[in-house]
């Protein structure tokens, strides 16, 4: 059992990694979600901007996350824009997942009954208020399972950032295993931590489902 006691001594590395992963994850999904909602609002009317945004969203859907991170971290310095691993990783997570959130919400917006929108317009809602009060809440409640899936994908995508030298949970396991040479135990700890985080996310989503059911939007 000496390996486990070594791991216990190295708990600070894991703890820092966990904090980094959780920080990256929560900060990026909050920003990505807000950005995604803004994108969908921009897509409401048919303008040149919305066409360009559609193109951008489709572009993101065909790219692996790591390529975007590479572009920001290794590619942009050539244009004189140098970012730390943290900024680049966070920015990549935000942009990438905002596109996916926007795509999920847009898919639901397309099949939303127009009656709500017309009724709200007749009541004199301005476009922004109409979007914030009528359209967006319904979209979010209805697309909850898909948004939840995307959250778990976002959590897993944070692990990619270890490749661009960001010190998060996977990097912590890697540094512990290379120092003490106990790869199995170090990675088992980290995999269990990822598992626990995603279980917590799923429980939170179930709770959200109950909220949606109470409002009559959803079936549990």
Partner 1 sequence: MNGQAWLLLLEGAWTTLWISGTAIAIGVIFGLGIALVRMARIPFVDQLLVLYISLARATPLVTFVLFLFLSAPTFGINMNRNTAAIVAMTLNTAAFNAEIWRAAFLSFSREQKEAALACGMTSRVFFRRIMLPQMISSSLPGLVNEMSFLIKGSPAIAVIGIVDLTRVTNRISAVTYEPLPPILAAALLYMLIISILLKLQAMAEKKANRLAM
Q: Is 76 in the site for partner 1 (CB under 8 A)?
A: yes
- Looking at the Cβ atoms of 50 and 174, the one nearer to partner 1 is 174
Cβ-in-10-Å burial (0-12, 13-18, 19+) of 138 comes to middle
**Which residue among 125, 180, 187, 217 contacts partner 1 (CB under 8 A)?**
187
Sign of the CA dihedral with 110 first, then 112, 118, and 123 last = negative
Asked if residue 167 lies in contact with residue 20, where contact means CB atoms within 8 angstroms, the answer is yes
Structure tokens at 83: 């970012």
Residue 164 to residue 98: CA distance in whole angstroms: 21
Q: Which of 19, 49, 71, 119 binds partner 1 (CB under 8 A)?
A: 71
* Tokens coding 121: 């317009």
Sign of CA dihedral 70, 71, 73, 79: positive
Name which of 65 and 131 has its Cβ closer to partner 1: 65
Shortest reach from residue 195's CB to partner 1, in Å:
4
- H or E element in which residue 135 lies: none
Touching partner 1, residues 85-104 (CB under 8 A): none
Among 56, 159, 205, 208, binds partner 1 (CB under 8 A): 159
The reply on whether position 170 binds partner 1 by CB under 8 A is yes
CA–CA distances in Å: residue 23 to residues 18, 29, 188: 8, 10, 21
Give the one residue of 11, 51, 129, 156 binding partner 1; rule: CB under 8 A: 156
* Positions in 30-59 near partner 1 (CB under 8 A): 59
Q: Which residues bind partner 1 (CB under 8 A)?
A: 59, 61-67, 70-71, 74-79, 152, 155-160, 162-163, 169-170, 173-174, 177, 183-184, 187-188, 190-191, 194-195, 197-199
């Amino acid at each position: 059992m000496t390996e486990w006691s070594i791991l216990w001594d190295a708990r600070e590395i894991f703890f820092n990694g966990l904090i980094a992963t959780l920080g990256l994850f929560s900060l990026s999904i909050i920003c990505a979600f807000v950005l995604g909602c803004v994108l969908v609002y921009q897509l409401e009317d048919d303008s040149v901007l919305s066409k360009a945004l559609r193109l951008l969203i489709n572009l993101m859907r065909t790219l692996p996350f790591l390529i975007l991170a590479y572009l920001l971290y290794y590619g942009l310095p050539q244009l004189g824009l140098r970012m730390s691993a943290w900024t680049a990783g966070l920015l990549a997570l935000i942009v990438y997942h905002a596109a996916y959130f926007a795509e999920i919400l847009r898919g639901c917006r397309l099949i939303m009954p127009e009656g709500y929108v017309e009724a709200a317009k007749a009541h004199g809602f301005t476009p922004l208020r109409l979007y914030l009060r009528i359209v967006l809440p319904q979209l979010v409640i209805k697309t909850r399972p898909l948004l939840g899936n995307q959250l778990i994908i976002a959590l897993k995508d944070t692990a990619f950032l270890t490749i661009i030298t960001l010190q998060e949970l996977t990097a912590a396991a890697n540094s512990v295993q290379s120092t003490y040479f106990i790869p199995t135990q170090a990675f088992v700890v980290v995999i269990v931590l990822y598992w626990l985080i995603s279980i917590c996310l799923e429980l939170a989503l179930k709770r959200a489902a109950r909220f949606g059911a109470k409002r009559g939007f959803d079936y549990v």
